[in-house]
Structure 1
Amino acid sequence: MGDESAAKTIRALLIESRDSRASPAAVLARCAPDRQETGTRFDVLVANDLDEGLRLLDRGHVVDVILFVVDASEPRGPAAWVRLRKAVAHLPIIVLAETSDKEQAEAAIRQGIQDWLPRGALTESMLASAVRHAIERFRIDLELRARIRRLERARARTHRQAAELRARAKELDATNRELDDFVYVASHDLKEPLRGIKAYCELFVEDYQDRLDTIGVNRLRTVAGMCGRLERQISDLLTYYRVGRMPSPPAPVDLMEVVDGQVAAFRPLLDRRGASVRVKGPLPCVLGHPLMLGLIVGNLISNGLKYNRSERPKVEIGAVVDQPATIYVRDNGIGIAPEHHEAVFGLFRRLHGPKEFEGTGAGLTIVRKIVQSYKGRIWLESEPGRGTTFFVF
């Protein structure tokens, strides 16, 4: 005989029929505390009919399972267990039937009954095993239903969020189109009068130079120069705005071809300045857009040639030996003090006046924005008088 403390007590509500010809009470009695071969005890609460059983539950009696006796001669049949199932959705129900009617058993299980046991062959081990399994199946079923409800709520939230995101994306797309139109119109409308002012200043100097003194001529030329610089700034702003808005996804690009194209574009300036651009070793293929990568390389070459007082300006481009995805652009220019290494990337931030070095101060800003749009990084190493090396990863 097993240890009494090891036996599990199951609280059962037995709903019998008053005129049931084969009550299972005797079987349950054999599973009472003094009989523990099954390892299961039953603490049985008996009701003589369905209404009495529901009243007992309403009064606060706590049970783990309901055993519902059904006789074939009774008219209540399926309607009764359907009523019981609706009234106690939180408890497992086992029907103890007079017969093993397969069709009726399958119908009962479809309607939420945990098991259908014919009373004729019922033993204490069968009953104990059926009750334990019914309770466990019902517990798992409740957990699954709870998880399904949580998943359905999560799916509903996801659908709402997806709908909100689609609506916001649509609004953003419309806003971007409006912004594109505005930028184009604004840049065109701003550039047009600047070109007119510049042209009139140049014509005025040309036609009235003999009537103006040197100061007047210089001032008109200064106005024309300022108009030209402002026009270039507007163009740089437009370029800065368009960075990262390429319509096609990145694709493999041979950096050697990009560099060769940029060197060819700079050839007149290189010849005029006696300058050179040297490519050291092979350059990698990277994911990107030829136009954007060309802007990176072109701006860094221009930077190395522009801020350079050497009689023979030199620019060297190569890949870092132990980091093939990182390229460098090195020059022999004037260099940059360490405290200005971050400032040079600011939009229209210039460390020198326009009379000393021409330009708008937007080139490095555009370069960094392009690099960041590809989830990359750009940094530099430089000291005054010792040139500058830009690294792009």
Structure 2
Amino acid sequence: MKQLAHDFSQSLADRYGVIADCAIHRPTEKEIERGADARNFHAHIMLTTRQAELDENGNVTLGEKSTAELSDTKRKAMGLPRMSDEIKEVRQLWETLANDKLLEHGQNLIDSRSYEDRGMNIEPQIKMGSVATRLERDKYERELNKKNKAEAEGEEYEIDRTPVTVVGTINQIIKERNELVFNLEALAKRKVEQQSDDEIIIESRKTDTADELATPFDTTPYKQPSPFDRRVTAPPSDKNKKNKSEEKSKTQEDDRPTQKQTTPPSGDAVAQALALARAVKEQDKPAEPTPKQTKDDAIAQALALGKTLKEQQEREKQKQEKQRQAITTNPDETLDPKPPPKADEPSKTKPDKPSPPAWTPPRP
């Protein structure tokens, strides 16, 4: 990778006449623990905005701006293509250099063209940026710490992978959409391949049926050998009895005419087979492709989702604030006392029972 990055940097320096600074980075252990890909080896290439030249004393001096820094108007006046076309040529330059190295190591090649130019129904994701990336990694690190703590206590914990930023939510929607489209296209491709295999089998069956119909049948009757054709001889010895018996059976099998035991298919059977083939062919037609979802639709869907979540959080926050203020102002109201009974309602309490009269002894 180091040599490849240096070759690409040198090609850019020669193309624009500038100085190139190449820095190769590898993911650190801390970045990997925070969710970074351990294979994310990459290079940062910086170019000077002005052309570099050597003066008479061999010192480097910076002259005019490089053609990569000029506007499309100035590039057109100089007979150069637009900068968007220039970027495509630079991408093709990287494709050529990278594929040479990939071929040496037997790896899959890359294509510098966009998904749209290659006819692929895939939406590119939005650039996260340093701030959103840091927020997503911080959240993942917190979730990873919770999981490690739960495992240390002998419990299970599932990491919450819900994005915390709007850009992360949009990219997640685009990813799910691309996976759905990819699965649908793969299913349609498998159906087309299966349909081709079925057509080959049906055509093979048609050929076999035609060959069977065209094959003439042997109508020669079977001739039973007559017992009078046998010669009367002396009984053979025990040694030659077995050999003569084998020769006899072999001769009878050779004299028996061959007959092909094949029953020709009827016309109704052939018609049923062709009708079944047509029904299978109509059933296995590939499904119509789903309409392509544009990037603007995905972004609008994600923004609406983010707005709904934000409004819901605001309502919850206001509700909690009102409850806190009510508790601070009059804490007795939060006890929810029972309201007094109405005047017209009868009291539900049972009346007191009358006490029995006091006992007096009888007079004599």
TM-score by length of 1: 0.19
TM-score by length of 2: 0.21
**Larger relative strand fraction:** 1
